Structure 1
Amino acid sequence: MAWRDGKASGKRLLLFMASIILGIAAVVSIQSFSQNLEENIGLQSKALMGADFLIDSNQPANERVVQIIDSLGGSDAMEVKFASMAAFSKDNASKFVQVRGVEGGFPFYGELETEPKEAASTYQQKEGALVDATVMLQFGLQPGDSVTLGTTKFPIIGSLITAPGSTGISASVAPPIMVPYKFMEASGLLEKGSRVTYAYYFKNTEADLTALDEIVDPLLDAENADMDTHTATSERLGRRYNNVGRFLNLVAFIALLLGCVGIASSVHIYIKEKLRAVAVLKCMGASRKQTFLIFLIQIAGMGLIGGIIGTGVGLLLQQSFPLILQEFLPFEVVIGTSYQAIAVGLLLGVFMSVLFALSPLINTWYVSPLQVLRVQENVGARSRPAQIGVLIAIVVFVFLFAYWLLNNLGYAAGFVLGIAFTFAVLGGIALLFMRLVKRYFPKSWSFSARQSLLNLFRPNNQTAVLILAIGIGTFLISTLYFTKDFLLAKATMESSAQTPNIILFDVQSHQKEAVAQTIAPRGLPILDNIPIITMRIQKIKDRSVNELRLDSTGTMRRWVLNHEFRVTYRDSLMASEKLVAGEWEPKVAAKRPVPISISENVAEDAQVVLGDTLQFNVQGMLMETVVASIRQIDWGRMQMNFNIVFPSGVLEKAPQFHVLSTNAPDKATSASLQQELVQKFPNVSVLDLRQVLELVEGILDKISWVISFMAFFSIITGIIVLIGSVRNSKYQRIRESVLLRTLGAKSGQILKITALEYLYLGVLGSGIGILLSLVGSQLLAFFVFDTAFVPSWVPFLVVLPGITLLVLAIGLSNSRSVLQSPPLQVLRKEGR
């Protein structure tokens, strides 16, 4: 019976099936790609690091670290990494780069991909440089040209295409240049205070990396060094990309939920038409169970077919993801078949179809044989307890699935509440709108206008479902635009001449006057001259950091114990800072301990409050301090911010370096200034913030494209739900339209009625979606990003009219059979 009835209603059930295919495709594609990504990271973890494990530090290995390295059999290679300026002999160009001075056979896994290929193995012997391939293209460089790093000139042996340890995004800010390590000291770039990383690489396939990490890492922590294994690196990288995958999974899940709304809507109308047939079957002796299973098997079958098609589409779709996301990945992703994603797609197709169809299906259980004789029988009261049970089951399933995706109870609950709130608001406004139209019906309007409004609250009108589908899709797209805009606004510099756009790092104390005199004659202002001193925490509240590291019961964040802080001193707060506790101490003379100001995140992670003491090791000298104030810092502002600030009168004579900033009005002035600074002060690094902002905007554009791509599934699913609802509602209103034509209504009048009805639905659904996204984006800006929110006009000028026209086009296209055929022909066609 399920098969026979399904064949007779094939076209209508196809739309029901279509409403779940895209949702399944979205979930399967993201699930499959995430699993492939995780497997690739695991398989390529050694190639990502280039070794089995490494020991790194911000200073050359001291005696104790050397002993630990020797006890492990000695390092097989070493490297020093730091940011610097590179000067190219061709056109006197300069570039902010990451210098990598290598000694030994690094990498031991993976490869240095260079052009020509042999340059990877000969650059150390030839005492030359491998320059990032993008930089080579940017400046028109060829092997045989030269690059100057500090005071040392290197011949360019080849272009560097890929190398372990250089990710796509970091390489965009500071492209890598690899040179032999032995020239680093002579280059004059390893000045005091420069941010330098020394890495010692080990190749040992027999080592138990977990046990080694547990034993050696605490010993290295005490010496301000660290051990990193390739497995730990891959786990961190996996967690980073898993967060992105989880977010995209939620977007895909919303598309699936939207499809399920379409399922419930389609099945509701479909089953309502079948209630009389169910009553006939019961008159002939069919049991409740039999009549219920006839339609349950239909729905489950459609869900299975939809799941199979959606899974296939999802597996094909994931093939495009590496092309979209490759720039964010430090390796090439090999796509394989994910059996887990296939199983999830098939099970979701069946389970969610049945779950969301249960509510209307339950009505078949309570239909009595007397329904054949009665014009109408209300089964709602008898089925209400079962309906409530189904609703609870749906909420529980959504929560459990969200928890499976996010692995966090709080986030899963927040997601469910957010979805429930959005659906409730959209549904509530739709019902309120229908009641208002009914109560304040404009009787003076023309016949076509009145009839279009009547259609919004006629029986089986589907107004609520259509507004829900349109509103959710619009909400996703609009939130994307609003969020992207205020994220870009946070990163965008003001065009004021007093806003720094050129930052000079690692300026030594004896150089600051000369650097300032190089800038001033060009008519450029010195906006900042910030002294920076490096130090580490020695004690927290009279407990040494070594003691705290060994305390297995402690909850203090370990980064505080191991971090080398770069601090400054000044007598006032900056624009990006706000005092949240204590009093600001501008100056100090002989006061001991020294009053300092710390950021909120350091106070929280170090578990200190006002009045607690901290002892710092200032490059060998111990200094007692007390927390006098706690600051809230806007880290998103393009200026130098510090976790720890000392008052004036304490650190002026400590070894220090400086950061200077200025404002160059155009690219030509900036390039000219950088060239002169690199020639005069090779150790000084110059960062052009305009280039960084272009990179940030490019990254945000790509991320927003990915999110738009996923939101596209919600929009398309909404359109399919819309088509399905319109098609299903057409069967309810076909006689009405035919009667209107029989009574003399012209095709133009029916067309106008249909157009106005869907115009109302499009404007109302997309308008509510945009207003909800305004509220949601405002909350995101305030609570998550702590920034001002200025709405974009794109959703109002593009999304709202675009979605409205789309709804209108779909509504009119589904009315063609009524408009283009004689009434009798339509009735015969629909009665088959």
Structure 2
Amino acid sequence: MSPSEWYWSLRMAWRDTRGSRFKLFFFSLTVTLGIAALVATSGFGSNLQRAVATQAKSLLGADLVLSANNQLPEDIQALTQGLAGPRSRWASFASMAYFPAQDQARLARVRALEGEFPYYGALETDPPQARLRFDHEAAALVDDGLMTQFDLKVDDRVKIGEQEFVIAGRLLKIPGESAMASAVGPRIYIPFRYLDQTRLVQFGSRIRYATAFLADGWDPDQWLETHEKALRAARVSFDTVKIRKENLGNAFENLETFLSLVGLAALVLGGIGIASSVHLYANRKIETLAVLRCLGGRTGLTMWIPIWVSLGMALIGVLGGVLLGLTIQWVFPLLFQAWLPVDLDYQIDAGAAGLVLVLGVVLAGAFTLLPLSSVWFTTPVALFRKGTEPDVRATRRLRRLLGFLLIFCLMGFIVIQAQRPLLGLLFGGGILLLLALLFGLSWLLLKLLKRFRFRRLPPMIRMALANLHRPHNQSALVMLALGLGGFLILNHTMVHQSLIAQFTRTGSNDRPNMILFDIQSDQVDALQSLLTRQTLPKESPIPMVTMRIQSLKGKPIREWIGEDESTQVPEWAALWEYRSTYRAEQSDTEEIIAGEWVSHFSGQEAVPLSLEESIAETLHLTVGDEVVLDVQGVPFTCRIQSLRKVDWQSMKPNFYMVFPAGVLEEAPQMFVQAVQTPSSQAAAELQKSLFIQFPNISSVDLRLLLKTIDDIVRQATFAIRFMALFFVGTALFVLGSCLVNSRQQRLDELAILRALGAHRSQVRILTMSEYGFLGFLSALFASGLALLSSYLITHYGFRVDWVWNPSLILWAVLGSVLLTTATGLMTELGWNPNAILERLRAEVR
């Protein structure tokens, strides 16, 4: 084509939009929210990467950190002797913190610190110089949330174990930790030199020791590469700035990928909506194209008129999405900051936005080209014979080509956004399959409704049901869009309710709601007396013995370690310090699924052992296999006698390994005990008594744990619901575009009804009923999918009992009906029910 012909086609396309530009603009908005989600998530990901790159050292606080469950072994200390530069050490453990002024106690995460750590970043405190008091007094920095909870002030007192500390300040922020970490386990910092005076370092105490190094003229990663084997052999964990940066980068990449895939799904839904609108637009332009062909226009020239219009719609929708995405990008830090250990700054990433702009135009354009293929080969005969088909063979070949082009563009877009080719391909194939399945189910439901006559219903109601099958009504597409958005919100709400209901049942009045641990053997009798005096229902104390695996099936455990989980054992499972118990009877929270339960050890052959099913699968063990365990320096040769299925959600003490009676009674051990407290006041009174009489015993109040979990799940659910709003918004735009497309047809039908004598009230009932049925079917569709999906997620994913609330379904149905009815009625604003003749004359013309 010559430049003049290109100009002519563009000018004709612009003229063709006169009188329908607002409608076309509305159609373009169906892809806007999907593009906005992608731009916002891309910018959010760029800000995350930038924050990790600039704050990498402050995330770790040092150049090298070595940690272990005990003091660093002498051989490891010898390796670090020659490292130049300052170093710090700390011990981290869980302990009860008692506040004398408030006469209350709370489980906290205590860190006894020595040195100037962190070397990068800083402990943010109020007052700012509070940490300086560590140098000359028994001072403590207390988590800000804990200070607020107990109404504490600077210079109040806190008692850890048998040592009392003065509160030097509020601990506002810890380098490398998110605000959510403090919510789960509030932190308290104390000087390391007072650790022994707390009297909490006893047998069985779960203390994590760490040493941090500031490199002066040596490379931490190079040193680590040289000594990694020795560190692993000594069961010493290690971390460097490079390792921390890679781990966080991978985690943040997964978060960005998840958010991007949600935006992509919304974009695909919007693409289907704009393709449907373009299809109806193109069918209305057949006569116009036929007139141009009669006037001598070539197919290669006239076909560009609807193409320019469609590409313009795609460009406007994508540009609007980019601008909207840049606007809402600042919301993401508010949603996720509590979960992130880095500080986020809002910065616009022009490169990421530009990439989404280009790819979005290509993808949206591909969605619009496929429905245009039916009118590209329009012949002059179409002006005189309506319904005349163009060249069928050419149209079919073109549709196949454009279909492959659309799939190629879609999969390429998804792969680029997912950043992982395999994940992108799997998601792309899955989303296409899901949309096809959902659309098919919507279409099938409408077909089933069409078979029923509903003869006993009023005429207007029957007509409303019949209108769902009106040509160009796109009811299946509307049900797909609204159903998918409603499904996302209902699904996450049901999963949230099931999780919270599980913990609520755990904390019910007829079940233990407090766990006591770190009980020494010589404290058991005195503790039982205390619980009896307070008339608290209790279960028997359960002994715990620590041990490690030496070998599996005659092969040393280190030879099993590897990443191939089908034949090898993960490092955590191989080197884990297992806390096991012994008893003669089974617990009511477990059942035998293989082998036989052995209650007493006869003293002959190997020691019988019962394994929990998941750890047995991880260790590749089954009934009859041999395991050698290191029980505090003494090797025990054991044989698997049974496998157990354990109800971990019971919140009662459960164990991977259980021995029969007569094996571990003489081994050094601690005890754990479950107690039932009738109220929060009784729980607080027990915690206070425990701290005064047994400072080393810690307790977990399941009521407080429930509240913490509820807060965490609510924040996560809010973030997910925010992303689901992109689906809901896209669905509403798709609904609006479908209603705008059929508005003229609807108004003509209403005019005919008025001409036949229908009252305005009857017309209104018809309109509201049609939209109401559409909303009802969409909600029914969404509720069914949400019920099935939430059951699968809770039952097989989280392994908790599935709970559903009928009132939630009722509210969803009511909300969907009201929403679709209101949206539908808005499209008929401005209709004059008395202008019947004008409508009929227009129909005749």
Which residue is equivalent to 1:376? 387
Gap regions ≥5 residues in structure 2: 1-11
CA deviation string 1:718-742 (max 9, x = no partner): 1111111101111333333334444
Instruction: State the Cα deviation string for residues 498-543 of structure 1 (Å, max 9, x = none).
Output: 5221111111111111112111111112214111111222223333
Alpha-carbon deviations, 1:623-679, whole Å to 9, x = none?
222233333334333222222222221111111111112010001111111111101
Structure 2 counterpart of 1:259, from 270, 283, 290: 270
Q: What is the match of residue 543 of structure 2?
A: 531
Moved more, 420-429 or 305-314: 420-429
- Shift of the 628–336 alpha-carbon distance from structure 1 to 2, 3 Å rule, reads farther
Flag the 1:571–1:213 CA change in 2: closer, same or farther, 3 A: farther
What residue in structure 2 maps to residue 470 of structure 1? 482
The question of whether the paired residues in 2 share the 8 Å contact of 1:818 and 1:826 is answered with no
Q: 1:578 to 1:268 in 2, by over 3 A?
A: farther
Match of 1:325 among 336, 348, 360: 336
Quickly say closer, same or farther: Cα 1:85–1:295, change in 2 above 3 A.
same
Q: Which moved more, 1:636-645 or 1:474-483?
A: 636-645
Q: What is residue 461 of structure 2 aligned with on the other side? A: 449
1:822 maps to what in 2? 835
Give the one of 795, 800, 820 matched to 1:782.
Answer: 795
**CA 1:159–1:816: 2 relative to 1, 3 Å:** closer
Matching of residues 309-348 of structure 1 within 5 Å: 309-348=320-359
Residue 440 of structure 2 aligns with which residue?
428
* Partner of residue 518, structure 1: 530
The residue that corresponds to 1:147 in the other structure is: 158
User: For 2:670, which of 649, 652, 657 is the aligned residue?
Assistant: 657
Q: Distance in 1 between matches of 2:370 and 2:563?
A: 56
Q: Provide closer, same or farther for how the CA distance between residues 266 and 551 of structure 1 changes in structure 2, counting only shifts above 3 A.
A: closer
TM-score by length of 2: 0.92
CA gap of 1:320–1:435, structure 2 versus 1, over 3 A, is closer
Root-mean-square deviation (CA, aligned residues, Å) is: 2.8
Residues 655 and 402 (structure 1), Cα distance of their counterparts in 2 relative to 1, 3 Å cut: farther
Higher mean displacement: 1-10 or 396-405: 396-405
Counterparts of residues 494-573 of structure 1 (less than 5 Å):
494=506, 496-548=508-560, 555-573=568-586
Distance 1:546 1:771, change over 3 A: closer
Q: Per the alignment, in what secondary structure is the counterpart of residue 505 of structure 2?
A: coil
Deviations 1:291-343 (CA, angstroms, capped at 9, x unpaired):
33322232222222222221221122121222222222233222222345313
Matched, 1:304 2:315: yes
1:179 has 2:169 as partner: no
Moved more, 273-282 or 291-300: 291-300
- Looking at structure 2, the residues matched to 132 and 393 of structure 1 have their Cα atoms a distance apart, in angstroms, of 57
Residue 494 of structure 2 is matched in structure 1 by 482
In 1, the alpha carbon distance for the partners of 2:777 and 2:722 equals: 24
Distance in 2 of aligned mates of 1:675 and 1:5: 80
Deviation at 1:551, TM superposition (A): 11
Q: Tell me by how many angstroms 1:439 deviates.
A: 4.2
Identity within the alignment, %: 34
Aligned partner of residue 531 in structure 1, secondary structure:
strand
Change (3 A) 1:443 1:568: closer
Q: Quote the offset at 1:827 in angstroms.
A: 8.2
CA distance in structure 1 between the aligned counterparts of 2:178 and 2:647, rounded to whole angstroms: 27
**Aligned-residue offset at 1:685:** 0.9
Deviation at 1:135, TM superposition (A): 1.7
- Give, as a single letter, the amino acid of the residue that structure 2 aligns with 1:570: R
1:127 aligns with 2:133: no
Q: Does 1:191 align with 2:207?
A: no
Contact 1:42 / 1:231 at 8 angstroms: preserved in 2? no
Q: Could you say if the C-alpha distance between residues 243 and 490 of structure 1 is closer, same or farther in structure 2, counting changes exceeding 3 Å?
A: farther
Distance 1:830 1:138 in 2: 72
Counterpart contact for 2:438–2:480, Cα < 8 Å: yes
In structure 2, the partner of 1:699 is 712
Residue deviations 1:542-585 (CA, integer Å, cap 9, x gap): 33345556999984311123222222222333344343333333
1:471 CA displacement: 1.4
1:220 maps to what in 2? Answer: 231
**1:113 partnered with 2:124:** yes
Conserved in 1, the CA contact under 8 Å of 2:562 and 2:570? no
Between 1:485-494 and 1:107-116, the stretch displaced more is 485-494
Q: 1:511 to 1:340 in 2, by over 3 A?
A: farther
Aligned-residue offset at 1:587: 2.1
Cα distance in structure 1, aligned partners of 2:841 and 2:736: 23
Are residues 9 and 144 of structure 1, via their aligned partners in 2, closer, same or farther at CA, if it must alter by over 3 Å?
Answer: same
Distance of aligned partners of 1:528 and 1:236 in 2 relative to their CA distance in 1, 3 Å threshold: farther
Q: Displacement of 1:433 after TM fit?
A: 4.5
Q: Which amino acid aligns with 1:370?
A: V
Instruction: Give the aligned partner of residue 269 of structure 1.
Output: 280
Task: Read off the aligned partner of 2:287 and give its amino acid letter.
Answer: R
Residues in 2 aligned to 1:549 and 1:478: alpha-carbon distance in whole angstroms: 42
Whether 1:603 and 2:616 are equivalent positions in the alignment is yes
Once residues 792 and 239 of structure 1 are traced to their aligned partners in structure 2, the CA distance between those partners, rounded to angstroms, is 37
In structure 1, the partner of 2:683 is: 670
Could you say what secondary structure the match of 1:96 adopts?
A: strand
Instruction: Show the counterpart of 1:581.
Output: 594
Cα deviation, residue 417, structure 1:
6.1
Matched, 1:104 2:115: yes
One of 492, 496, 507 as aligned partner of 2:504: 492
- For the pair 1:709 / 2:714, whether they are aligned, the reply is no
- For 2:674 and 2:471, how far apart are their aligned partners in 1? 69
Contact residue 19 and residue 259 of structure 1 kept, 8 A: yes
Equivalent position of 2:62 in the other structure = 51
Local SS of the residue matching 1:123: helix
Distance 2:787 2:602 in 1: 52
**C-alpha spacing 1:591/1:335, structure 2 compared with 1 (3 Å):** farther
Instruction: Call closer, same or farther: CA 1:794–1:631 in 2, change over 3 Å.
Output: same
CA apart distance, 1:481: 1.7
Whole-Å separation in 2 of the counterparts to 1:524 and 1:39: 54
Q: Report the Cα offset of residue 13 of structure 1.
A: 0.9
SS at match of 1:640: coil
Determine whether 1:761 maps to 2:774.
yes
What is the match of residue 616 of structure 1?
629
Report the residue type matching 1:727 in the other structure. Answer: V
Contact 1:481–1:792 under 8 Å retained in 2? no
Whether contact under 8 Å (2:146, 2:186) holds in the other structure is: yes
1: CA distance between counterparts of 2:679 and 2:314? 60
Find the residue that maps to 1:365 and give its secondary structure.
coil
Aligned CA distance change for structure 1 residues 623 and 444 (closer, same or farther; 3 Å) = closer
Question: Which amino acid letter does the alignment assign opposite residue 819 of structure 1?
Answer: N
The aligned residue for residue 6 of structure 2 is none
Change (3 A) 1:407 1:348: closer
Give the C-alpha shift of residue 747 in structure 1: 3.2
Change (3 A) 1:696 1:679: same
**Partners in 2 of 1:716 and 1:551 — Cα distance?**
43
Deviation sequence 1:233-272 (CA, Å, 0-9, x none)? 2333343344444333333322222212211221111111
CA gap of 1:709–1:432, structure 2 versus 1, over 3 A, is same
Q: Is the 8 A contact 1:123 1:180 kept in 2?
A: yes
The one-letter code sitting in structure 2 at the alignment partner of 1:499 is: R
1:591-614 CA deviation, whole Å, 9 max, x = no partner? 332222223333333333333322
Q: Report which stretch shifted further, 320-329 or 437-446.
A: 437-446
Q: Single out whichever of 257-266 and 5-14 deviates more from structure 2.
A: 5-14
Distance in 1, Cα, partners of 2:732 & 2:563: 58
Amino acid at match of 1:475: F
Offset of residue 406 of structure 1: 5.2
- 2: CA distance between counterparts of 1:606 and 1:403? 35
Structure 1 gap ranges (5+): none
Asked if the contact 1:751/1:812 (under 8 Å) is kept, the reply is: no
Provide the rounded CA distance (Å) in 2 between the counterparts of 1:395 and 1:68: 58
Which one-letter code corresponds to 1:631 in the other structure? R
Cα distance, 1:437–1:652 mapped onto 2, change above 3 Å: closer
CA offset at residue 101 of structure 1? Answer: 0.5
Q: 1:196 is matched by which residue type in structure 2?
A: I
**Maintained 8 Å contact 1:213/1:228:** no
Aligned-pair CA distance for 1:209: 4.1
**Aligned equivalents of 1:444 and 1:100: distance in 2?**
75
Is 1:632 matched with 2:668?
A: no
Provide the C-alpha distance between the structure 1 equivalents of 2:793 and 2:400, rounded to a whole number of angstroms.
33
